Structure 1
């Protein structure tokens, strides 16, 4: 028996073919589609949503910061969250029609929906509607209401001058190797900082 739940702006329909879904479900799911569907690899999308959600504040005086940006352009989908001081952004391949998408939805709701996607289904489909965003994967269907973004703060851009680019895995290994020098008792007093050289 299909059922529906409404939590944190997330409407979940468990099972398709529901004869009498709730009004809250239809409020989002029956809205006119604004974009063609975007297809993503299910497991990659789940990981991307989980990573972006790491910077979501548990509560905020700025409601917009509880949201996560869902953006697509030129065959890529980007999920971004910002808590006012930290930014987490994950980018993944997506099958799109080339039409850009820029939508703010509840971040915790999106992360919960992504986590609940059936692992047996290789692809998930996102579709922007006039009411928000729908996420379909196999027999699971999720609807997320769009959030107003008028009060979303400007995200600072990293400075270009003096910036360097490093290969992620190599940089992590370097930090782990040098960090071992200050991990022993008493080492912090002798070496209070890690020093870098070019």
Structure 2
């Protein structure tokens, strides 16, 4: 095996594939990257038995072949290599990397112990890559972090008609984002659901965001993504998220509207005096303002912003400031509508204005992005 490649191309390929490598493993070969050189191409793959990441890039291939080397060690080497061409070769049981007079030698891992990479499912759907990455980031903030409840650490993807719906919930909040998708040759007419690990999905979609379109394939317990020279397969989570239809029914709610960016800045400002798990209060009034407050005793903060209110003369609600900032920060619209059922009850946030592929629900269309929060009972 012998090939020559630009240092930047090698670093980018190794860096992408290395993102799926396990931080700790009792199977040493899973810490390795599989490098395959042939026909002017280099294919770099990583696999942790749950997620496989593969990327192809151009390379001057003198001798084709395969080798497995420690992925993070190779990435460290790539980062310190001089700019310019890099010559790589397999010399016996040692893999050499040389550039600008600097030479490294790496031991190799046994190829026969490396697990077989999963076969990518046939394409089922395609979606705009940038819009997909944005939508995943908007809902993933609501996914749980507790691995003892694996279903709640996922993002649920549903394909129904021409709409893709992404949803995530950790029981205290629930985010939903809709966008358009197009069927591929293998697509059927029935709705399709899949529950994916949120952190893995975020990594994949961020890396694919500049690839134009992402092609998505489904096969049993696997989902595949392909765009440009990047491919990834992810093992699905078992189960599904609780349905959100009744939760998002806010009949009889008081409705407030406020500028999103100004509200984010105000929450950050007043939350400085909030103790751990202490809420930020929002007191809306019909005079066209909302008063934000946080803190207790002598350490308090307050700020008033313009806001509109309908359905009541006044309304008060309080939120965990981190959860509220996560929700507000996920919107790309200039304004946000807050449907409020009262203290200790649900609050539904909807963007007003222009989302990436819709109007946020501001013109009577079905909202493309919504975020449900539970308000806290103690206003302070």
Instruction: Give the TM-score, by structure 1 length.
Output: 0.74
Instruction: Indicate the residue corresponding to 1:178 in structure 2.
Output: 289
1:69 CA drift (Å): 0.6
C-alpha distance in structure 2 between counterparts of 1:92 and 1:58, whole Å: 25
Q: List aligned pairs for 1:47-196, cutoff 5 A.
A: 47-96=134-183, 97=187, 98-117=189-208, 119=210, 121-149=211-239, 152-153=241-242, 155=244, 157-163=247-253, 171-173=257-259, 176=263, 178-179=289-290, 181-182=291-292, 188=302, 196=309
C-alpha distance in structure 2 between counterparts of 1:53 and 1:91, whole Å: 13
SS of the counterpart of 2:237?
A: coil
1:90 CA drift (Å): 1.2
Q: 1:40 aligns with which of 127, 132, 149?
A: 127
Is 1:25 the counterpart of 2:144 in the alignment? no
Greater percentage in strand:
2
In structure 2, the CA distance between the partners of 1:173 and 1:6, relative to structure 1 (3 Å rule), is same
In structure 2, the CA distance between the partners of 1:157 and 1:8, relative to structure 1 (3 Å rule), is farther
Aligned length in residues: 182
1:195 CA drift (Å): 9.1
8 Å contact kept, 1:8–1:108:
no
In structure 2, the CA distance between the partners of 1:162 and 1:39, relative to structure 1 (3 Å rule), is same
C-alpha distance in structure 2 between counterparts of 1:61 and 1:55, whole Å: 16
Greater percentage in helix:
1
C-alpha distance in structure 1 between counterparts of 2:126 and 2:180, whole Å: 9
5+ residue gaps, structure 2, are 1-41, 58-64, 67-110, 264-287, 294-298, 312-380
5+ residue gaps, structure 1, are none
1:139 CA drift (Å): 0.9
8 Å contact kept, 2:126–2:214:
yes
C-alpha distance in structure 1 between counterparts of 2:292 and 2:151, whole Å: 39
1:153 CA drift (Å): 4.7
8 Å contact kept, 1:67–1:105:
yes
CA RMSD of aligned residues (A): 3.6
SS of the counterpart of 1:55?
A: coil
